[in-house]
């Protein structure tokens, strides 16, 4: 998998990882500061849009052909997902009117995140290497051909979605409780209605919203980022056989195959689980926005 | 982990996809699911009704069969009774007829006897007269003794 990434003069392991963790962005080189809103990550945008379109395409196909008669396998599969999300939504969000928006949102998020996570299962060097070829052929320096293919391993994507969920939560807070009711709740929950407690309550509420949103986005990001790095380390282990030589070389190669297989199989669980968790938390948070304290 | 404007883009995409699903995906699928659930429920209800109907029909057919058997037995008994009655009637009629014929015969025979006796009496009287005539021809004038002879004739 990764042997191809080692060129004649071969990057070091550190260089290899840094190269793989650098986004294809609007500047053409790695982002320098932590927050820089002048930059766009083209790779994340491209893959998340592509997979988002694939998601709605799949769902729309199923929806167009949906019949109340005997369903085909494809329809049944989509229906299972719809039922899954719909049942969870029914448990967590009581007003039917809210479910009409939140349940489809949760379904989209589930499938979309699952597909984005599943990009992790492609060989780590496959798409970046192809991009290097294209970039080089277009006259660029292949060493600066950056590409990350897992959008959910980009904090921008996961935080973008979790902020989206936060906005939905705020919207329903206002919609269900009214502006006055919600402001009242901000200052009177969780500790109770007392002028002295109001600032503390408000602070707690702010912290709660921030913590929910950050943990929501960070959880998914962290899992996928870690998974990606483990795949890179496994690839590096195999790559080391060209430089290692001796008996350890072939063993390292076998090690990569074994470890890569095990981690990939385990990762199937993680990508599904993380997509499911993100969806469930979306429903839980929106459900909480409906509850008055 | 660097933050940049990709975040906003992702946020927008997030809502567009959710909107699309809400508008074009969720309603038809949920509608199909609900309709199927209703269909299945209807089917089950129909099956239940069918089973109930079958039970009723079976019960009715058993009842009809029983009734039919009863009726046929009744008809049979009636027919037997009627046959016996007819035989009885025929017997009686035959007896009456026979009696009548016998009585007729008897009466005729008696008539015949009476007539024969009358004829015999006439013949005997004539014979007696003839005999007496022969006897008397020698001794008696028939004309003289005519009332005597008719008196004898009466006594015969």
In this prediction, residues B1-28 reach a mean pLDDT of 90
Please count the other Cβ atoms lying within 10 Å of the Cβ belonging to residue A90: 13
Q: Is the peptide bond before A190 cis (omega within 30 degrees of 0)?
A: yes
Instruction: Report how far residue A63's alpha carbon sits from residue A82's, in angstroms, rounded to the nearest whole number.
Output: 11
pLDDT category at B1 given cuts 50, 70, 90 is: low
The residue extents of the domains of chain A are: 3-289
Report H helices in chain A.
13-20, 42-65, 73-92, 96-118, 126-137, 155-188, 198-244, 248-289
- Candidates B7, B14, B35; nearest CB to A68: B35
Give the predicted TM-score (pTM) of the model. 0.76
Residue A91 has pLDDT above 60, yes or no: yes
Instruction: Report how far residue A232's alpha carbon sits from residue A263's, in angstroms, rounded to the nearest whole number.
Output: 11
Determine contact: A112 vs chain B, CB below 8 A: yes
- Quote the pLDDT of residue A245: 58
Q: Cα–Cα distances in Å, from B62 out to A102, B56, B59?
A: 60, 10, 5
- Candidates A41, A55, A109; nearest CB to B4: A41
> A73 an active-site residue?
no
State how far residue B68 is from chain A, nearest Cα, in angstroms: 47
- Candidates B4, B17, B29; nearest CB to A66: B29
Numbered residues of chain B with Cβ closer than 8 Å to any chain A Cβ: 1-11, 13-15, 17-18, 20-22, 24-33, 35-36, 38-39
Residue A4 has pLDDT above 60, yes or no: no
Partners of A35 in beta bridges: B3
- Quote the pLDDT of residue B47: 96
> A64 an active-site residue?
no
User: Per residue, what are the HEC states of chain B?
Assistant: CCEECHHHHHHHHHHHHHHHHHHHHHHHHHHHHHHHHHHHHHHHHHHHHHHHHHHHHHHHHHHHHHHHHHHHHHHHHHHHHHHHHHHHHHHHHHHHHHHHHHHHHHHHHHHHHHHHHHHHHHHHHHHHHHHHHHHHHHHCCCCCCHHHHHHHHHHC
- Quote the pLDDT of residue A247: 67
Contact between A160 and B11 using a beta-carbon 8 Å cutoff:
yes
Q: Cα–Cα distances in Å, from A249 out to A14, A16, A240, A257?
A: 20, 19, 7, 13
In this prediction, residues A178-193 reach a mean pLDDT of 87
Instruction: Report how far residue A168's alpha carbon sits from residue A100's, in angstroms, rounded to the nearest whole number.
Output: 13
State how far residue A247 is from chain B, nearest Cα, in angstroms: 38
Instruction: Report how far residue A6's alpha carbon sits from residue B147's, in angstroms, rounded to the nearest whole number.
Output: 190
- Quote the pLDDT of residue A1: 39
> A219 an active-site residue?
yes
Q: Do residues A123 and A1 make contact, with C-beta atoms less than 8 angstroms apart?
A: yes
Lowest mean pLDDT among A277-286, B5-14, B61-70: B5-14
Residue B140 has pLDDT above 80, yes or no: no
Closest CA to A10 of A251, A264, A240, A293: A240
In this prediction, residues B118-130 reach a mean pLDDT of 86
State how far residue A127 is from chain B, nearest Cα, in angstroms: 20
- Candidates B13, B29, B39; nearest CB to A62: B29
In this prediction, residues B75-79 reach a mean pLDDT of 96
- Quote the pLDDT of residue A192: 82
Q: What is the dihedral of CA A62, A65, A68, A71, to 10 degrees?
A: -70
Active-site position among A26, A61, A143, A215: A215
Residue A11 has pLDDT above 80, yes or no: no
| pLDDT tens-digit map of A116-150 | 999 999 888 888 888 888 888 888 777 788 888 99
- Quote the pLDDT of residue A249: 72
A291: left (phi over 0), alpha (psi -120 to 50) or beta: beta
| pLDDT tens-digit map of A247-268 | 677 788 888 899 999 999 999 9
Using a pLDDT cut of 90, give the percent of chain A over it.
52
Instruction: Report how far residue A157's alpha carbon sits from residue B6's, in angstroms, rounded to the nearest whole number.
Output: 7
Contact between B11 and A157 using a beta-carbon 8 Å cutoff:
no
Q: Which stretch of DSSP H or E encloses residue A36?
A: strand A35-36
In this prediction, residues B12-34 reach a mean pLDDT of 92
Instruction: Report how far residue B18's alpha carbon sits from residue A56's, in angstroms, rounded to the nearest whole number.
Output: 9
Partners of A36 in beta bridges: B4
Q: Which residues of A touch B36 (CB under 8 A)?
A: 68-69, 71
Instruction: Report how far residue A82's alpha carbon sits from residue A76's, in angstroms, rounded to the nearest whole number.
Output: 10
Instruction: Report how far residue A67's alpha carbon sits from residue A45's, in angstroms, rounded to the nearest whole number.
Output: 35
Determine contact: A41 vs chain B, CB below 8 A: yes
What does A162-182 look like in DSSP terms, one character per residue? HHHHHHHHHHHHHHHHHHHHH
User: DSSP code of A35?
Assistant: E
Q: Do residues A263 and A234 make contact, with C-beta atoms less than 8 angstroms apart?
A: yes
Q: Which residues of B touch A104 (CB under 8 A)?
A: 18, 21-22, 25-26
pLDDT category at A6 given cuts 50, 70, 90 is: very low
The residue extents of the domains of chain B are: 3-111
Contact between A104 and B22 using a beta-carbon 8 Å cutoff:
yes
- Quote the pLDDT of residue A151: 92
C-alpha angle A211-A214-A217 in degrees, rounded to nearest 5 = 140
Q: Which residues of A touch B10 (CB under 8 A)?
A: 44-45, 48, 151, 156-157, 159-161, 164
Lowest mean pLDDT among A39-43, A265-269, A278-282, A285-289: A39-43
Residue B70 has pLDDT above 80, yes or no: yes
Q: Do residues A45 and A93 make contact, with C-beta atoms less than 8 angstroms apart?
A: no
pLDDT category at A32 given cuts 50, 70, 90 is: confident
- Candidates B3, B9, B18; nearest CB to A105: B18
Determine contact: A114 vs chain B, CB below 8 A: no
- Quote the pLDDT of residue A5: 45
Instruction: Report how far residue B55's alpha carbon sits from residue B44's, in angstroms, rounded to the nearest whole number.
Output: 17
Contact between A39 and B5 using a beta-carbon 8 Å cutoff:
yes
């Amino acid at each position: 998998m990764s042997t191809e990434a080692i060129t004649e003069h071969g990057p070091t392991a550190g260089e290899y990882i840094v190269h793989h963790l650098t986004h294809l962005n609007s500047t053409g080189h790695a982002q320098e500061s932590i927050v820089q809103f002048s930059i766009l990550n083209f790779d994340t945008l491209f893959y998340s849009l592509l997979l988002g379109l694939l998601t709605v395409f799949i769902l729309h196909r199923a929806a167009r052909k949906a019949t109340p008669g005997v369903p085909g396998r494809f329809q049944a599969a989509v229906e299972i997902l719809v039922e899954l999300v719909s049942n969870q939504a029914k448990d967590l969000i009581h007003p039917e009117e809210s479910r009409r928006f939140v349940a489809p949102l949760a379904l989209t998020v589930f499938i979309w995140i699952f597909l984005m996570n599943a990009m992790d299962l492609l060989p780590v060097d496959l798409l970046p290497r192809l991009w290097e070829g294209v970039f080089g052929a277009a006259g660029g320096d292949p060493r600066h051909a950056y590409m990350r293919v897992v959008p959910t391993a980009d904090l921008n994507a996961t935080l973008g979605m979790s902020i989206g969920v936060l906005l939905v939560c705020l919207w329903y807070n206002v919609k269900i409780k009214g502006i006055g009711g919600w402001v009242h709740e901000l200052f009177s929950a969780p500790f109770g209605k007392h002028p002295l407690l109001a600032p503390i309550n408000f602070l707690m509420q702010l912290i709660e919203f921030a913590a929910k949103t950050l943990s929501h986005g960070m959880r998914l990001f962290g899992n996928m980022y870690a998974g990606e790095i483990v795949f890179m380390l496994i690839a590096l282990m195999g790559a080391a056989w060209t430089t290692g030589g001796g008996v350890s070389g072939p063993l390292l190669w076998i090690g990569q195959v074994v470890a890569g297989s095990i981690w990939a199989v385990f990762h199937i669980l993680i990508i599904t689980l993380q997509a499911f968790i993100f969806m469930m938390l979306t429903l839980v948070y929106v459900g909480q926005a409906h509850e008055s304290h | 982990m660097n933050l940049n404007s990709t975040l906003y883009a992702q946020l927008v995409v997030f809502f567009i996809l959710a909107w699309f699903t809400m508008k074009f995906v969720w309603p038809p699928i949920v509608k199909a699911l609900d309709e199927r659930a209703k269909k299945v429920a209807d089917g089950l209800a129909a099956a239940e009704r069918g089973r109930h109907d079958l039970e009723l029909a079976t019960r009715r057919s058993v009842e009809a069969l029983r009734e039919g058997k009863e009726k046929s037995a009744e008809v049979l008994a009636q027919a037997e009774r009627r046959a016996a009655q007819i035989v009885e009637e025929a017997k009686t009629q035959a007896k009456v007829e026979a009696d009548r014929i016998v009585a007729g015969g008897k009466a005729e025979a008696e008539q015949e006897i009476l007539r024969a006796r009358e004829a015999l009496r006439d013949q005997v009287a004539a014979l007696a007269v003839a005999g007496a005539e022969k006897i008397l021809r020698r001794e008696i004038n028939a004309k003289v003794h005519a009332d005597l002879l008719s008196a004898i004739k009466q006594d015969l």
